[in-house]
Structure 1
């Protein structure tokens, strides 16, 4: 079985990016597929693994969608959780708080159990008000849902939820992806998965609160089989963003067509229009990933570049100019920890990473085995 995995990954890594089309390229042999546990990568000096939440028998044993955010000198972690199974109707959203990124509070409720699924939508802030996005689904993931927002001045006392609205003042018919990114001029880029189902569309707003004024950017989705036959799913899903020195934004996406490579699109007009997504040479595990920029502008990608469905190892890839990724660092090696509390759709691996530069480090949050909320902390000094 291992030989088959290595062979498949070798094939994937030998396929070049579409010349002249892909927003970024990948250095040849960046990942050593003959070493599936670590892909030949090494951790950066000073890397720490920190546990934010670990389940106990009788407690909430499913977690996913971990999103980190800094607000008023504290670090916040948001995630979705349930008693046992993924996508069960008792799925709701909680958060924890830390003053140093190392020691964390017990989970607190952001969106309690309701009639349908509640999932984490990420964070936003204008510097004065902290916004938590909550996705409330109609009945299941095939029918889609809507994004709501709650706000707080202190991270403890929260407003009642209000729908996230477009420039027309109407609620957006979709759920928000978990990591909005700000441009240097203050404009916020994000993506929504629109109803019916989950069809990816990029959006932007000039409202610094991120609550209203959202405008859909122009991007053509690729043809897609599967659920797309019923108009319920786009090929592109669960994106993230990074910026290039030339001012262009790059949208990095999961590929539901099982290429096990990342899709990417770019916008050079502030998110108003995007190129048609294309396959890149960056291997992936058909999963949610993370992207962004370090404080010196270096672009980064966080994913499990296994080239298979295995969401391990977890790696950080770096590019000085945002066009060519030629460095990669190990965050978590395989084989991943075993599952201690069985549940629907739970499997070993480091799931759905989201990242944040806070103070003097890069923080990457993820769900280990979809049951433990963990975080990797990498000193920025080790990434220079």
Structure 2
């Protein structure tokens, strides 16, 4: 047995910790993976530094609230994760075909930065949780904390509600657990995997729980939850085989308070943030760069799904490869091959709306892009 699969007695109805992909179904290579049909592509925000000054864009999120699609991302006139970084967004009222002007969710903070995060609707209000960093302890993000913003009911503008968690960067929208708490996966100030747990329905108080990764760099968590059991899927910067990178996995059986030690899974994943969710068809899905033998490339954005009601992923499709789709070539004005990364998704009306970064320049100088996938295309039997 592969040593990464020797996880001891910790099993559950959710999954054996390190088994994310059905071992009886080989993961397709880049040449084998089938392209999804019927996908509509849109550009949410084009990289336009000559117009808005922002060279860097990353971490797009999407959420639907009161018939409006909300998106957000981090933007910077300089390099990522530096002072002056801000949170911007756009809205769409016509199924993501046209977009509002860019709005400011998290304005600049002088010698600190604000960056990408997530949305959730709760008790009749739309919330946004975003990272803030720049002053304090931390090897990667000094003074990292999570701030809350609420959409004003009368102003329709974003209002900062202050710091709600220390040492945490949110990377997936909150999940409600059986115990009444909310749960967010992400990373900490040292760029290691961490999660945040709310105090019940109080979205202004969260506890940060860090995973035991030792000297390894295992970070940027996403998750599935079932009751109080949670499975984390994480970016793995310390792979057993650097030529064949795989996601790391960990499991909690007590609502995220304690965790198994992360281990390498059998799901290929380039060193980039994954996104996990569950469709209305009861299929789990994971979006990332997950072709077998992908040589740690972000050239193939994929979605893996399970069969309805099952835990293990067993089918993989290509959402988009590095070639610019014909429908977007006029928008981009070029056909340069693009890296595709940092996905996020929301389901609505029989479709999965997937947002991600797309760019041909180094250092995440990206545009924000959207793929709309019909759920029927993701059927797995």
Q: Is the 8 A contact 2:272 2:341 kept in 1?
A: yes
Please give the residue correspondences for 1:145-164 in structure 2 after superposition, counting only pairs within 5 Å.
Answer: 145-154=144-153, 156-164=156-164
Structure 2 unmatched ranges of 5 or more? 7-15
Structure 2 match to 1:356 = 346
Distance 1:326 1:148, change over 3 A: same
Q: Is the 8 A contact 1:258 1:286 kept in 2?
A: no
> Per-residue deviation at 1:29?
5.9
CA distance in 2, matches of 1:222, 1:84: 31
Structure 2 match to 1:124 = 120
Question: 3-state SS of the aligned residue for 2:376?
Answer: helix
| Superposed CA RMSD | 2.9
Deviation per residue, 1:228-255 (Å, 9 max, x gap): xxxxxxx2211111135x8632111111
Structure 2 match to 1:304 = 289
> Per-residue deviation at 1:31?
3.6
Structure 1 match to 2:12 = none
Q: 1:55 aligns with which of 47, 51, 57?
A: 47
Structure 1 match to 2:356 = 366
Q: TM-score, normalised by structure 1?
A: 0.79
Distance 1:17 1:367, change over 3 A: same
CA distance in 1, matches of 2:123, 2:33: 37
Structure 2 match to 1:331 = 319
Question: 3-state SS of the aligned residue for 1:240?
Answer: strand
Structure 1 match to 2:277 = 292
> Per-residue deviation at 1:158?
2.3
CA distance in 1, matches of 2:148, 2:102: 19
Structure 2 match to 1:248 = 229
Deviation per residue, 1:35-60 (Å, 9 max, x gap): x3xx4222333211111111233432
Deviation per residue, 1:4-59 (Å, 9 max, x gap): xxxxxxxxxx97961654152344564443xx3xx422233321111111123343
Question: 3-state SS of the aligned residue for 2:347?
Answer: strand
Q: TM-score, normalised by structure 2?
A: 0.80
CA distance in 2, matches of 1:236, 1:144: 20
> Per-residue deviation at 1:335?
4.8
Question: 3-state SS of the aligned residue for 1:156?
Answer: coil
CA distance in 2, matches of 1:16, 1:43: 33
> Per-residue deviation at 1:360?
2.2
Question: 3-state SS of the aligned residue for 1:381?
Answer: helix
Structure 1 unmatched ranges of 5 or more? 1-13, 166-171, 226-234, 342-346
Structure 1 match to 2:264 = 279
> Per-residue deviation at 1:220?
4.5
CA distance in 2, matches of 1:114, 1:324: 43
Please give the residue correspondences for 1:16-165 in structure 2 after superposition, counting only pairs within 5 Å.
Answer: 18=5, 21-27=17-23, 30-33=26-29, 36=30, 39-56=31-48, 57-59=50-52, 60-99=54-93, 100-115=95-110, 116-139=112-135, 141-154=140-153, 156-165=156-165
Structure 1 match to 2:11 = none
Deviation per residue, 1:301-348 (Å, 9 max, x gap): 00012443311200000013453211111111135799x89xxxxx94
